[in-house]
Structures are given as structure tokens and as C-alpha cells.
Amino acid sequence: MDSSIKKNLVLFLVGKVTSVLGSSIYAFAIGLYILAETGSSLNFAVTLVLSMLPRILLAPVAGTLSDRLDRKKIIIFSNFASAFWLGIILASFLFFTQEIWVLYVATTGLGIIGTFYSIAVTSSIYNMVGPDHLQRAMSLNQAAISLSTILGPVLGGVFFGMIHIHLFMALNLLTYLISAFASIFIDYNLFSKKSHNKRTSRMSENLRQGLSYIKGQPFILHLVILSVWLNFWFAVFPVAMPYLVLTVRKMSSIQLGVIEGAFSVGMLIMALLLSARKEIRKKELSITGGMVLLSAALMLTGLPAIPGFINLPNAAVFGFLITIVLVLSVSIMFINTPVSVLLQKNTPDEYRGRVMALLETGASAMTPLGFILFGFLLEKLPVWLLLAVCGLSLLAMVVYLYREKMFLKLLKDEDQPRASSI
């Protein structure tokens, strides 16, 4: 591996791990603090909405700016801006007021800044490592996220009773600064072929150009639609699993935590394995096979709730659900990794920010919509039936892809040059 690429990967991983782990610990601690101070789950839900809403509303703007401006400057500025914003919140909390609305303001501000940061980072990965190391970079990015998902609640829970909420803010502020300084030394334009001839046009025109480009590229459009479709139907899992474990099976909250933790562990292991191997060649089989596996695993998740299996001992159900969750995480990585690589490789640099922004907007909007819909349906339908419907809906996409054929043909064409060159 070229030394410049290796340096970029190491610095990228350092910055990413510190940033997302600090944010995960902070978010978990803030959630515990709000619940402890107010005793209201509604107040906690408000913080979740305020963290997600900016991604839905501002991702197109962030994507357009990412294509117009220097992405490295956006990344560095966003990290310093997040640290500065948390510094203001910390000072306000220490010297003025400790009312809950301050935390709402903090969450909203971090969500806005984080939207511009995440789009710029995602749009820069190809230019940072080039086509030959793209899968490794994307997998390490996912590994960092999975690691933070595992360690964030653990460390946040352990330290919450020991240190004051102010220190959680200070810790997250420090991680943003580390990420910012790591980004300064990354060459985000190592493989850049970006054209700068469109910067003079208006931002609204840039946004329209991006939408027109996506509509005119069937392969990219199919990748975006596929990602949005998967995000919507898979949103049933985080809603149905707690209901199945706690309400239907009457299992403990500790068992639920272990089951949900197994999902992040599976994602982390798969991300590390994919980062260490060559790029997946048969992307058609990886994507469609992963979708079939995901569909089957979702349907099997509801098995312990079917009347004929309700008398199964919870110890057996516990082991079964851990196994199913690991299968789910493996199948998602087999879908997400080639889809991410294909999007990066097939999108010109001058449009990459807007394409990634559309994907971010679609995925971010579908997930809370799925939470609301499936939460409502759980009160009307048996959990096993709802999981079966969602699993079959994912399977329907596979059937559509094979009947429509054009997308799979383009997938095979994408693999062919790489297969012949090895």
C-alpha cells in the first residue's frame, strides 16, 4: 500500500473513532441525564428527533456545498465548529442555567453541523484512498461506527454515576478537536479529478443539476432507491425486537441488551473482515444474496412469537435471537459494502456530494417514518406477522431486480473489468 494512502487511512481512522466514540458516550449520557432529571421518555424522544431532523432537512444543502467548496475545509471547520458550539453550551450550563432546553439547543446545533461534516467525509473517501482501497476505507468507517455503538453505552453508563454531565461535554469537545487536527494532515484530494467550473452558478441551480444527474443515471438511481427501500423495511427491527423480547417473551432487559449488542458486534467483525480482504468481485450475488438472507432472518426473528412456539424456554429463545441478529448484521454488510463502493466509484467527483446527500436524506427520512408506522402496527398486528410482511417486502425487491434485469446487468458489467484484470 502506498505510504500516502496508508497515512490517510490511519489518520482517518483515528479521527473517526475518537469523534464517533466521543459523540456516542455523550449522547448516551445526555439521554440518561434527561431521564434522571425529568423522568419523561418524551423529553428523551425529543432529543432523538432534534438530532435526526437536521439530516433530513439539510442534507441536500450539505451535499451541494460539498460539491461547490473544498471538502477538507468543510470537514475541519465542522469539527472545530462542533467543539466551539459545545464550549458555548458547557459555559452556559456552568455559569447561566441548567435547564433541559439548553440540551435541546446543543443537540440541534450538533445535528446541523454534523450533517455538513458527514456528507463531506463520505464524499471524500474515494479521493482519499482511490478505487483499489475503497472497500477497506468504507469497512473501517463502518467498524468505527460499530465500535462506538458498542462502547458508547457501556462507557457512558459506567461513568455516568461517577462524573458530572459537564465532563461528558468536555470529553466530547476534546474528541472533536482530535478529529479536527487529524483531518488537517489528511490529503483528501489524493485521487481528486474534481472539476471546478460550476462553482459560479447559484446553489439552487447546483441542486437541480444534481437531481437531474441522478435521474439520468439509472444505475445510480437504482442504488439510491435500493438503499432507501432497505432502510425503511429494516426499521421494523429496532421497534419489534424490544417488543418481542420484553412484552411477548417476558425476558429481562439485560437479555435485550445482549441481543441488541450482538448486532453491533456482528457488524464490527464483518467490517474488520471486509477491510482485510480484496474488494468483493461478484457484487450482484453479494447484494441479492444479502437481501435474501436479510429477508429470511427478519421472518425467522418472529418465530418465538408464533403461538406454536410460545412455550419454548426463554434460554433457547435467547440463543436463537442472538444467532439471528448475527445473521442480520452479516447480511447487511454484504449489501451495504458493495452498494457504498459502487456509489463512490460510479459517481463523478463533482456530483458525489449531492448523490450522497440524496441517499442520506432518503435513509434518514425512512427510518423515523418506519419507527412510527411499525410502532403503530405493533399495536394492531402480531409481531411475527409484521416481521413476516417486512421480510417479504425485502424479498419483493430481489424479485423485482431479477425481473427488471437492467440493474443486475449493469452490476455484472461493473464486475467484468475487475474480474478480467486479475
pLDDT digits (tens, 9 = 90+) for 18-35: 988 888 888 878 877 877
- 183 and 219 housed in the same domain: no
Say if residue 222 is in the same domain as residue 163.
no
> pLDDT grade, residue 322 (50/70/90)?
very high
CATH number of the structural domain spanning residue 6:
1.20.1250
Does the pLDDT value for residue 80 go beyond 90? yes
51 located within any domain: yes
Residues 214 and 102 in one domain: no
Is there a domain that residue 392 lies in?
Answer: yes
Residues 41 and 171 in one domain: yes
- Residue 419's pLDDT band, with cuts at 50, 70 and 90, is very low
Residue showing cell 494532515:
185
Q: 317 and 241, same structural domain?
A: yes
Q: Cell 418465538 appears where? A: 304
> What pLDDT score does 213 carry?
84
Domain shared by 271 and 129, yes or no: no
CA–CA separation, 261 vs 245, rounded Å?
14
Query: C-alpha grid cell for residue 227?
Result: 438503499
* 79 contacts: CB under 8 Å, gap ≥ 6: 15, 19, 117, 176, 177, 179, 180, 183
User: Residue range 143-159: average pLDDT?
Assistant: 80
**Residues 276 and 343 placed together within one structural domain of the fold:** yes
Q: Quick check: pTM over 0.95?
A: no
| Residues 130 and 32 occupy one common structural domain | yes
Flag whether 198 is in a domain: no
- Can you tell me the mean pLDDT for 386-410? 85
Q: Provide the mean pLDDT of the chain.
A: 84
Helix axes 100-129, 71-95, angle to 10 degrees: 160
Q: pLDDT, tens digit, for every residue of 273-296? A: 988 888 888 888 888 899 999 999
Lowest mean pLDDT among 152-156, 289-293, 407-411: 407-411
Residues 1 and 116 in one domain: yes
Residues 85 and 10 placed together within one structural domain of the fold? yes
State the Cα angle at 356 between 352 and 360, rounded to 5°. 165
DSSP 244: I
pLDDT in tens, 128-139: 998 888 888 888
Q: pLDDT value at position 307?
A: 87
Same domain, 413 and 298: yes
Structural domain includes residue 373 = yes
Least confident segment among 87-96, 143-152, 308-317, 329-338 = 143-152
Over residues 326-337, mean pLDDT: 91
How many domains would you assign to the chain?
Answer: 2
Instruction: For CA atoms 143, 145, 151, 154, give the dihedral sign.
Output: negative
Residue 203, in any domain of the structure: no
| pLDDT interval class at 149 (50, 70, 90) | confident
Exposure of 104 in the CB half-sphere (CA atoms within 13 A): 9
Q: Which of 123, 158, 188 is a domain's end point?
A: 188
With respect to residue 140, please indicate whether it lies within any of the assigned structural domains. no
Do 40 and 181 belong together in one domain?
yes
Most confident listed range (104-113, 223-232, 294-303): 294-303
Residue 63 lies in a domain: yes
**Cβ–Cβ under 8 Å, residues 179 and 16:** yes
CATH number at residue 293: 1.20.1250.20
Evaluate whether residue 202 is within a structural domain: no
pLDDT of residue 142 exceeding 90: no
C-alpha to C-alpha distances, 268 to 5, 165, 224, nearest whole angstrom? 22, 29, 24
**Does 194 score more than 60 pLDDT?**
no
Please answer whether residues 120 and 66 qualify as being in contact, where contact means their C-beta atoms are separated by less than 8 angstroms. Answer: yes
- Average pLDDT (77-103) is 88
Question: Where in the sequence is the domain holding 50, given as residue range(s)?
Answer: 1-134+145-188
